[in-house]
Structure 1
Amino acid sequence: MPSSADWTAVINLIEEVMTEEDLLSSAVTSARTNVREIAALPAADIAGHTRGLLAAATRALADRRGPTDAELAFVAELAATRARQDVPIEAVLMAIHVASRVIWSRAREIAAIREIPPAALLDVRELYDDWAEAVRARLISEYHAVKLSQGTRAGDREAVLLRRLLAGGSTAVLAAAEAGLPAGGGLWLLTARAGEDAAVGRLQRALRTQRPMLLSFDGGFLVGVAARPPAPGLIGADTAVGIAGPGEPGGLAALRRLAIAALAAAELTGRRGLTHIAEVAVLAAVADRPDLSGALLERHAAARTALGAQLRPVATAVRAWLEADRDAALAGQRLFVHPNTVRNRVQRFTEVTGIDPAGTVGGLNAWWLCGGWLGGG
């Protein structure tokens, strides 16, 4: 065992690492980039659960103990949430592993700088591994318990048909025929964020008026497969829906990814109603690359610091100016400020970042970067 002083030094180091401003964002970005099954989940959802696990781990290490009943209750809640979202348990465990790897990598860097004995850090890491194993066991048991309670849903005909469609190959062709969909192609796939709100219920009822339509929940999304796009006006203005197609039955898994990307882009820009992936192709590419977003934010970290209290007004003005097709008067009208205020804030952004938002590439980078700043990235 390390000396009391060494142990205290390592614990202080771990607590410091856990409170680093950008560490959680980096851990979440790494998890979403490396584990595709959770990439579609809201970043705030992943960040909230990751923050809870990190806080619990820090307390346990400081007290030289395993997880308490209260901490395991939080773990059970996480398992139940991911089970209801149909995220595979393997993906949940891998996401936690990836986030932990980011944390310990940073801890090793600081330990080397402060000349903390490697043996002391290793002892703390071994205790963390024991803690993580208890958490892993609770995650698995609770996850399977929730899945078992959902057995009736797993037998739902539409859910089974949707899984077969997404499996591809001859299985998908047969499932399409069984669902009354064209087995020869021309299929459209749409997605909306699953939830308990009334908007999703209204969307389900509206979509079921169009036949043929296969509709079920999958991986945290309401997924529909149809022989044609929904009729104009069928989807209300209170719900964001992504759609991709047309495509063959064997290619529905790819259409699902595109429809989810269209949905993410629509949510990113506040769009409602039906959004086809072709309408937001560039935005979808942006939303699907949190690793590139992280690189952009890191590149301009100094600019963010330089802006200080003006960060949000400047970022908001730049986004509004770009979304108004660089019309300062229109952007000012939307923001309730004078057009010259918009121009001055755009100029300030250019000065601190070196990005010219008037250019094509510069405009894209400016819009993306300001979105990251406004989103707390």
Structure 2
Amino acid sequence: MREDSDTTREREIAARISSLIAGADVELDSVASRLTDLYRQRIPVYDSVAREEVQRNTRAVLDIVVWRVQSDSPSVDESDVTDLVRRWADQTIPLELVAHSIQLGARELFKIIRHNAAEQNLSTAAVDDMQDMMWEWATSYSAAVNTVMQERAVTGAIRRSDLIRQLVESSYVPSSLAGDAQEHGIDLSHPYRVACVVWNDTSKASDARALLRMRCSDGLLEVVDAVIDGRLIALLPVVPERLESDIAIGVGDARQASDARSSYEQAQRALTLATMFGRTGVVDLAALGPLPLLAFADDVAEQIASVHLDPLLVRGATGREILDTVATYLDNDRRVDDTAAALFVHRNTVRNRVARFGDLTGLDIDSTADLVLAWWLLTRDRAQRAALENPVL
């Protein structure tokens, strides 16, 4: 019974609104025209759409309201405006402006209703009821706009992700590349640097994304990014110096978008090595010094490590202590005092362990060739241990 009573009351209010705007076609044309002028004056994007198209769409919103109050079912139905909103989106009018347009349209329409209600000496309660219904419609239709916005956002994100994947894998269709790139604001003639970040939905990862978007746009071109297979992959129009980040951001060299794969492969290697060695901020292969050398020849490296490091590793904690001391010694450019301070041991302890390292490994770190090999093996060993302790997604 309560539902029937509410429905009856809705119909009564709608019928009253319908009677007050009966024959208001000329006025609605005027309202649509005024709103169109208002939009084009205050919202620059409307200048890119033909005036008559904006006015036609604005009038369509008003017609929907009129049709609803004159129907047998005045209850709100968001689907009334969904198709119209999608058409506005296809015209590249920002949908948040559409929601604003609907609210302004409802306000202007209610001015007509209130004026006619005053002429008919309707009660304040009746006017309030009509106003509540008008705002209920406006709010619901704005919600329909938000629904379409979410649809578009999801669809756009999927299409953007697909395009970036195709670019970094060189799997795009050449004939459709120009159109796809234009849709997502990618200039095929501009060189981009590909950035790669481990994505784990943490605040640090989000901050890194915001940093890239804010600092790596050039005013005309925006950063285009997507999360793909646990990595944030971004096309950067520019990379300014001194970008500070709490996590590692691997970056490749500048290539046109159609050749993004090369830059992406460099960014991946830089990210892997930077993460492995605890580097943070924006890093490319050149900034990592000799560390990229560690990414090559794994089979050979295992064989060399077995020859030189196994004699220490079989000694357990004592052997590991010698390895860590020599690694720290090399980190400190072979300065005994600095190494002793870093390890909280006596200088003679450092000297003795360095000597034992030479005896057991056969590597004389006073020899340039042996020094390079020792650094390479110890740095590689350190990275492997870090990876086991802190696996990277």
For the aligned pair, the TM-score class normalised by the smaller chain equals 0.5 to 0.7
Offset, 1:324: 1.8
The alignment's TM-score, normalised by the length of structure 1, stands at: 0.53
Q: Look up the SS of the partner of 1:229 in the other structure.
A: coil
Quote the residue 1:208 is aligned against.
Answer: 213
Q: Look up the SS of the partner of 2:345 in the other structure.
A: coil
1:158 aligns with 2:163: no
From the superposition, tell whether residues 373 and 207 of structure 1 become closer, same or farther in structure 2 (CA, over 3 Å): closer
Select the residue among 301, 313, 316 that pairs with 2:324: 316
Select the residue among 197, 222, 234 that pairs with 1:224: 234
In structure 1, what is the Cα distance between the partners aligned to 2:201 and 2:210? 14
Extract structure 1 runs of 4+ deviating beyond 6 A: none
In structure 1, what is the Cα distance between the partners aligned to 2:180 and 2:303? 43
Offset, 1:288: 4.4
In structure 2, what is the Cα distance between the partners aligned to 1:355 and 1:309? 20
In structure 2, what is the Cα distance between the partners aligned to 1:197 and 1:274? 18
Identity between Structure 1 and Structure 2 (%): 25
Offset, 1:194: 2.1
Q: Look up the SS of the partner of 1:316 in the other structure.
A: helix
**Number of aligned residues:** 224
Conserved? CA contact 1:324–1:331, under 8 Å: yes
Conserved? CA contact 2:161–2:227, under 8 Å: yes
In structure 2, what is the Cα distance between the partners aligned to 1:282 and 1:172? 37
From the superposition, tell whether residues 187 and 267 of structure 1 become closer, same or farther in structure 2 (CA, over 3 Å): same
Offset, 1:176: 4.6
Offset, 1:314: 1.5
Write out aligned runs for 1:14-29 (5 A). none
Q: Which runs of 5+ in 1 are unaligned?
A: 1-151
Q: Look up the SS of the partner of 1:156 in the other structure.
A: helix
Select the residue among 290, 293, 301 that pairs with 1:293: 301
Conserved? CA contact 2:188–2:258, under 8 Å: no
Offset, 1:213: 0.6
Q: Deviations over 1:334-362 (max 9, x none)?
A: 22223332232222111111122334432
From the superposition, tell whether residues 339 and 272 of structure 1 become closer, same or farther in structure 2 (CA, over 3 Å): farther
From the superposition, tell whether residues 192 and 176 of structure 1 become closer, same or farther in structure 2 (CA, over 3 Å): same
Q: Deviations over 1:81-116 (max 9, x none)?
A: xxxxxxxxxxxxxxxxxxxxxxxxxxxxxxxxxxxx
Q: Deviations over 1:193-248 (max 9, x none)?
A: 22233211211222222421111122332211111115534x42x20111111123
The alignment's TM-score, normalised by the length of structure 2, stands at: 0.51
In structure 1, what is the Cα distance between the partners aligned to 2:178 and 2:352? 58
1:184 aligns with 2:186: no
Q: Please say which of residues 223-232 and 268-277 is displaced more in the overlay.
A: 223-232
The residue type paired with residue 199 of structure 1 is K
Q: Look up the SS of the partner of 2:188 in the other structure.
A: coil
